[in-house]
Structures are given as structure tokens and as C-alpha cells.
Amino acid sequence: MGFVRNAWYALSWSHEIGADILLARKVLGKPVIAWRKSSGEVVALADMCPHRFAPLSKGEKVGDGVRCVYHGLEFDGTGKCTHNYHGVAPSSAQVQSFPIREEQKLVWIWMGDVELSEKVAIPEIPFLTEEGWRIQFGTTNAKAGYELYNDNLLDLTHATFLHGVIGGPEWKPKTRIRELDDGRIHCNYLVEEMGVLGDNEKRVQVEDNLYWTAPSTHVLSIEHTPRSATATPFYVISCHLLTPETERSTHYFWAGAVPAGVPIPDEVLHDTLRTAFEIEDKPMLEAIQANMGEADLWDLNPVLLPADSGAVRARRRLKALREEERQ
């Protein structure tokens, strides 16, 4: 399989990298360490001292650099060895560094060919930085490949049976799936009338819109329009960023927001989102990965349904990107 390497991946939420943090996280199979310089800039290196392969993340920040706790070699944010406590800093001691951008409350990392990083855009997730939203954030890790997560999000008919609160038995949407000119995939789901969250008296129209940007960024809005006197309008928007840790495990960064004035307590909003993404979706995707073992999806000859067309297009797109990178 392999990864799409020439892409910006979420490494963390910005708030995960406080002033004193050495963040250790494996990305695309490589151990990475990241930290924030006094200027606020985040830098990322391979999390292996080139001397004896100690994880630099076991060390500590020294000024704007990091000191390996094993023999005390210090490295700056470019990976250059700046100090050797016991002698001359060896010029050959250079740790691989990774381009980092901090945008939209996320720290993005580039694991591919450095000269291409400027040519590739970071997916836009406007609600993360716009005024007027109350946002909840989550970070988790799942023992399932990131393409299984793409498949999951690109076919929201799964909400009917898997999700209590955001789906349920009346979730039988009309589905329109299309590829946009910019390569994104847009899935539109419409249920003209259904009960709200198990309350069959309150009738609403529900419309979901999901936009996928390769390789693994999803933005999903859910809108309720009242169809009965007791129902109220409701709008929630979320993003889902899937960063491969290994071929069969994924870092999952999610956020969900409602308009600032909506009278839902923060904890309720957070728990509702977390339940759907971490309690309902995640064990299912891990069980599927366990069932599939090391097999590729296509080798198992899945039966495809019309609702799979978004996921199938995304998989084709990722395959094409991987093949392009190999040339």
C-alpha cells in the first residue's frame, strides 16, 4: 500500500504543543518530535538522536532547541547539532527535520519531498478560525488504517444503525455524491422529515454536507430545519483529520462547533461528538481492521453499494497519488 507522502498532515492541535512540551508522535511510520520555539514557531524533527538513536523526546527543551538526555547532544529546530557537552559538536550529526505550518489551530507536518511542500495547499477548514463558533476538540488514536476512516466518513448511511444521536432509524437520506473540479468530493444527504434525536414529536428536515480533501481531511455540516411547531433550527459543523501513524493505525483529530449562542453546555457538546467518533465509530473500524488483517480492501472483493461511490472515488484518487509519487 504505502502512504501519500506529499501532503500536509495534521500533527496535532495547536493547543497540544504548549511552551514546555516535547510532543512525540509517529507519523507515516516515522517517530517525530515537535516543540514550540520562544518565537511561537513549531518545529519538528525525527525523534531519534543520530548518535545512539535515543528518542529526543525523552530529553528536554534547552532554549529553542532540544537536548538528548542520553549524552547531552543539543539540536536546534533545523536538526543541526549545536552543542556537545563533552566535546566538539559533530557536523555530521544532523537530524532530519520536517516542514511545519501552523494554520487554523492545527500544526501541519510535511513528510514528503521538501521541495514540493510549497506547492501543496493545506485544506481549508474555515469554521476553526471564524468568529461566532463554540468549538470542542478531540485527539485519539485508532488501530485501523486511515482509508477505513475515509470510507466511514464518505458514506454517512452508516449513521442509521451505528450512531445513536446523530443518526437513528429515520436516517434514510437521499444521497448525492459528486467530485468537484478542485478534486474534493462532496456528499450531500437529505432527509425531508424525521424526529430529532429520538424525539419523534419534534420533526425536522436534516441535511448533511461532507467535503473530503485528499488525502484525509473531512468537513461535515449537519443542519436541522424545523418541520413541526416544537422543533428548533440546529446547525453543527465538524472536521475530521486522519493522519496515518502506521499502515494500520491512525491519529484522529476532530473538532465540532455550534454557533456561539446555542444553549448546549460545552460538556454535552463534547460528549456527544466524542461518543459518535470515539465510542461508536472507532471500535467498529478497529474490528474491521482486525477482520481484514493485512489484506488490502480490494483483494477481499467487497460488495459495493451506491453509497460507496464517494469512498471508491477517494480510494482511486489516493491510489493515483501514490503511483504518481513513485514515478
168 binds a copy of itself (CB under 8 A): no
Nine cell digits for residue 243: 493522519
Residues 6+ apart with CB under 8 A from 255: 13, 105, 128, 135, 136, 137, 138, 238, 239
Binding residue (CB under 8 A) for a copy of itself from 116, 292, 312, 321:
292
190 binds a copy of itself (CB under 8 A): no
Do 253 and 138 contact (CB within 8 A), yes or no? yes
48 binds a copy of itself (CB under 8 A): yes
59 binds a copy of itself (CB under 8 A): yes
151 binds a copy of itself (CB under 8 A): yes
312 binds a copy of itself (CB under 8 A): no
Do 34 and 13 contact (CB within 8 A), yes or no? no
Rounded to a whole number of angstroms, the minimum distance from the CB of residue 67 to a copy of itself is 7
Q: Is 216 exposed, middle or buried (0-12, 13-18, 19+ CB in 10 A)?
A: buried
CA angle 109-312-6, nearest 5°? 20
Give which of 70, 61, 65 is closest to 81, Cα–Cα. 65
Q: Tell me which stretch binds a copy of itself (CB under 8 A): 48-56, 134-142, 229-237, 248-256.
A: 48-56
- Report the site for a copy of itself in 130-149 (rule: CB under 8 A): none
Binding residue (CB under 8 A) for a copy of itself from 126, 161, 228, 266:
161
Count of other CB atoms within 10 angstroms of residue 228: 13
Q: With contacts defined by CB under 8 A, how many residues of the chain interact with a copy of itself?
A: 49
Nine cell digits for residue 40: 511561537
Q: Tell me which stretch binds a copy of itself (CB under 8 A): 34-42, 223-231, 242-250, 295-303.
A: 295-303
206 binds a copy of itself (CB under 8 A): no
Rounded to a whole number of angstroms, the minimum distance from the CB of residue 44 to a copy of itself is 16
Rounded to a whole number of angstroms, the minimum distance from the CB of residue 128 to a copy of itself is 29
Nearer to a copy of itself, 87 or 265 (CB): 87
Rounded to a whole number of angstroms, the minimum distance from the CB of residue 223 to a copy of itself is 20
In whole angstroms, give the CA distance from residue 294 to residue 98. 29
Q: Tell me which stretch binds a copy of itself (CB under 8 A): 13-21, 44-52, 191-199, 254-262.
A: 44-52
**Where do contacts with a copy of itself occur on this chain (CB under 8 A)?**
31, 47-48, 50-55, 58-59, 67-72, 84-87, 90, 92-93, 151, 155, 157-158, 160-162, 172-173, 175, 284, 287-288, 291-292, 297, 300-308
